[in-house]
Structure 1
Amino acid sequence: MIEHTFIGLDVHATNIVACALIPETGEIVRETMASDPVAVLEWTRRFTPPVKAVYESGPTGYVLARSLRAGGVDCVVAASSKLLRAPGDRVKNDRRDSRLLVEMLALGSVTEVRVPDEETEALRDLSRLRAGAARDLAHARQHVNAILLRHGLRYPKDTKWTQEHHRWLHRQHFQDPLLQFTYENDIEQAELLAARLKRVDKQVTAAAAACPYTNVINALMCLRGISITTGFGLAVEIGDWTRFTGSSIGSYLGLVPSEHSSGETRHQGAITKAGSTYARKLLVEAAWQHRRPYSRPGIRLQRQFILVEPATRIRALEGNHRLHGKWEHFDARAKIPVKANTAIARELAGWCWSLAAPLQQGGPVTPV
């Protein structure tokens, strides 16, 4: 069935430029209104239903999409990286953007972004808060290390940021009062951010234990390298794992090679880096852990196995052995570690899917 009216919305923080296309008559209707979901919904009701609307993903989020859907308007959010634009098109403005969106929607060429519910979006924000807190702490600690390194001070042991290391840091003193002031403030900032990260981690642990993704998180944590923060982040970033297959999940996360081929020439380049940057980063970091020696599950994994069904446990054991075996194979071939780890991360994404998707479907754990 062809929708009676298509609507393209170019959404900004203060205003929205709308373009409606009526296929039966070819009529184009334009409107500029305040960035208010109620005003947009009232404007869409001027047209004979059914109505389908689209706007580009971006910083304005999903409030407008949820509001229009609640009002009976089928609203989709288009992936901004997948919008088609002619190479020779050098004119870009709000009117053209809304027209481009409505034309792509009418042709069925819009790549939709999944609109999460409010609870999932809140969980995702918490996960990203944790990532930001860890990043801020790392930067603050780098500042402290940089000051010490520039003045020839080096901690004699390899393990840093322990209690002993903190006591050593507080014993260091500089003759210049301005330098001493800067050093003390950098240490104070690092300690405050470390305490903040602990509070966020505590909240993540509590949320992971009582959210719609708890079973998925427990299953993902049966794989090496996936702690509670990593499992939580992957679960809420991807949300509905049933949308993918074992092979397509790697493409969704941008872990497959880019390609530029023409005729008989085929060239593959770096990975596409599509999808969630944060989810891809979590997988890449977890993949390094599979390079470490492995013969049997450690204490953490043994405790984690108690929380999952036998089928999930067996599948996770297979994945851990398989991924470590792949690392051994790459090392034997002297493959560049960074490239090897990317390949492991791509396969790890498939193993994560094989654990998570069956739980959301309510069926048995299946192979990749």
Structure 2
Amino acid sequence: MRIIGMDIHRVAAEVVSLLDGQLHRMGRIPMARDSLEAFARKELTHDDHVIVEATGNAAAVAEVLASHVDRVVIANPKQVRMIAHAKIKTDAIDAAVLAKLYSTGFLPEVWVPDERTLALRRQVARRTQLVRQRVRLKNLIQSILHSHLIPPCPHGNLVGISGRKWIAAQIVPADERAAIERHLAQIDLIESSLKVIEGEIAHEAMADPIIRRLMTLPGVDMVVASGVAAAIGDIRRFADPTKLASYLGLNPSVHQSGEGPAYHGRITKQGRGQARGMLVEAAWAVARSPGPLGAFFQRIASRRGKHIAAVATARKLAMIIWHMLTKGTDYIWMRPALLARKFRSIELRAGLPTSHTKRGSAYDYNIPEKRAEERGRVEAAEQEYTYFASRWRAKPRAKKAPLQPT
């Protein structure tokens, strides 16, 4: 078996082969689909194993080469860098390191999702980028108003109908007025693009049982559920819930040496940062919702502060998600009327026609008695959790043995 290491970049890749312990340089290949196809047909065989680092174009390289070789492996670049850090670094050396690590069984691999999961990841990432652009433009408008001593907008949405009327009534110089109009026009373009992307995500969510299951959690809407589902992929690759929390970077860092105690610090923030941010966003929504998770947030916030409580609740959500997806069950304290309203929102975003003459299950959320009944059930569970947690006792610290005189 021949092992092919490829150090790929934006424009080219350095290729090195390892066979019977001997390294051979195979040259430099342009990063174009035609060039990769020609290289694969001419130089590669169906017994070869190709190793590449995870980069922006690694998935496309793996797709081109997969049909010409036995296996394509994508390596975790952070862990490879820790294992094979060297003072002398070239593309050929990096490619050789990949081949050697794979041959010895020490190569940290990256799970390669299927095309459907990759497409969902790309859509969620595009939406996140558009939202950030919209926030940046809103901040620019607010900075213009602030620089001319205009008080904050009294309306909830600065770029909504009421907000725009309020902006039009403010007195600013002509050039600043023109800048505000340009920013508002850009926001309109971004919102139209957002509507298209969210419609495509909604179509995917309607047909995906995993996304619909995740939406049974409080604070988790279509976007959060889609982002987390795309990040997780196959839940079977995580042996236990702590592995999932670690993959999302929600596990605390640990420092311990010798016989000293272990010190736990901030979360590692390694892995899927976008999904981690979405879970933290959902945790803030959980803080305003009744139920055991809301009580958990308040219990941590009373001792450590709200920001630490939000991260702890996000980790709790990740642990619950692992159990839900592994056991194939919904969240036990879900509110059916609220869940039906979430599903109806997906249908409307996907462009399904509205029906004003027929009331579905989502209408139950508009009935005060029905809504109060469901809320009362989860509030009772919240009280039970609060009572249960109040009976816990902190483990006393072990006293150090006194020093013996010498």
- Give the TM interval when normalised to the shorter protein: 0.7 to 0.9
- Matched with 1:338 is 307
Q: Distance in 1 between matches of 2:111 and 2:65?
A: 15
Aligned pair partner of 2:28 in 29, 33, 38: 33
Distance 1:280 1:64 in 2: 27
What are the superposed Cα offsets for residues 263-310 of structure 1, whole Å, 9 maximum, x if unpaired? 12333332111111111111111111121141xxxxxxxxxxxxxxxx
Q: Distance in 2 between matches of 1:274 and 1:156?
A: 38
- For 1:342 and 1:41, the matched residues in 2 are separated by 46
Match status 1:92 vs 2:89: yes
Corresponding position: 1:168 with 2:166 = yes
1:32 aligned partner, one-letter code: G
Q: Tell me, yes or no, if the aligned pair for 1:255 and 1:271 is still in contact at 8 Å.
A: yes
| Cα RMSD, aligned residues only | 2.3
Q: Do 1:358 and 1:366's aligned partners in 2 also have CA atoms closer than 8 Å?
A: no
- Which residue in 1 is equivalent to 2:318? 349
Whole-angstrom distance in 2 between the partners of 1:79 and 1:86: 11
- Cα distance in 1, alignment partners of residues 27 and 256 from structure 2: 43
Pick one of 224, 236, 245 that aligns with 2:218: 224
| Structure 2 residue matching 1:109: 3-state secondary structure | coil
Unaligned runs of 5+ in 1: 295-320
**Cα separation, 2, equivalents of 1:130 and 1:88:** 36
Q: Which residue of 2 aligns with 1:134?
A: 131
The equivalent of 2:118 in structure 1 is 121
Aligned equivalents of 1:223, 1:284: Cα separation in 2: 13
User: What TM-score, normalized by structure 1, do the two folds share?
Assistant: 0.81
Give a deviation string over 1:97-144, Cα, whole Å, max 9, x none: 011111110111111111122232222111111111111111111111
Q: Is the 8 A contact 1:9 1:16 kept in 2?
A: yes
Q: What number of residue pairs does the alignment pair up?
A: 325
Shift of 1:255: 0.8
| SS of match in other structure, 1:225 | coil
| Alpha-carbon separation, structure 1, partners of 2:222 and 2:330 | 21
User: Does the aligned pair in 1 maintain the 2:282–2:314 contact within 8 Å?
Assistant: yes
Using the TM superposition, name which of 223-232 and 335-344 deviates more: 335-344
What are the residue-to-residue correspondences of 1:14-33 with 2, within 5 Å?
14-23=11-20, 26-33=21-28
| Amino acid across the alignment from 1:326 | F
The structure whose Rg is larger is 2
- Taking structure 1 as reference, are residues 45 and 230 closer, same or farther at Cα in structure 2, changes over 3 Å only? same
Q: Detail structure 1 runs of 4+ shifted over 6 Å in the superposition.
A: none
CA 1:272–1:76: 2 relative to 1, 3 Å = same
- Measured after TM superposition, the shift of residue 86 of structure 1 is 6.4
- Residue among 266, 271, 292 paired with 1:270: 266
How far residue 149 of structure 1 moved from its aligned partner, in angstroms, is 1.4
- CA 1:332/1:155 → structure 2, altered by over 3 Å: closer, same or farther? closer
- State the distance in 2 between where 1:131 and 1:121 align: 15
Residues 241-271 of structure 1 show CA distances to partners (whole Å, capped at 9, x for unaligned) of 2211222100011111122321123333321
2:56 is paired with a residue of what secondary structure? coil
**TM-score normalised by structure 2 residue count:** 0.74
- Do the aligned residues in 1 keep the contact of 2:84 with 2:97 (CA within 8 Å)? no
Contact residue 51 and residue 73 of structure 1 kept, 8 A: yes
Please say if residues 286 and 294 of structure 2, whose CA atoms lie closer than 8 Å, have aligned partners that are also in contact: yes
Q: Which amino acid aligns with 2:10?
A: A
One-letter identity of the residue aligned with 1:354: H
SS of residue matched to 1:62: helix
Would the aligned equivalents of 2:44 and 2:69 in 1 still touch at CA under 8 Å?
Answer: no
Quick one: structure 1 residues 338 and 366, their matched pair in 2 at CA, closer, same or farther if it must change by over 3 Å?
closer
Determine if contact 2:134/2:190 at 8 Å carries over to the other structure. yes
Query: 1 CA distance for matches of 2:75 and 2:110?
Result: 6
Can you give the 5+ residue segments of structure 2 that lack an aligned partner in the other structure?
333-406
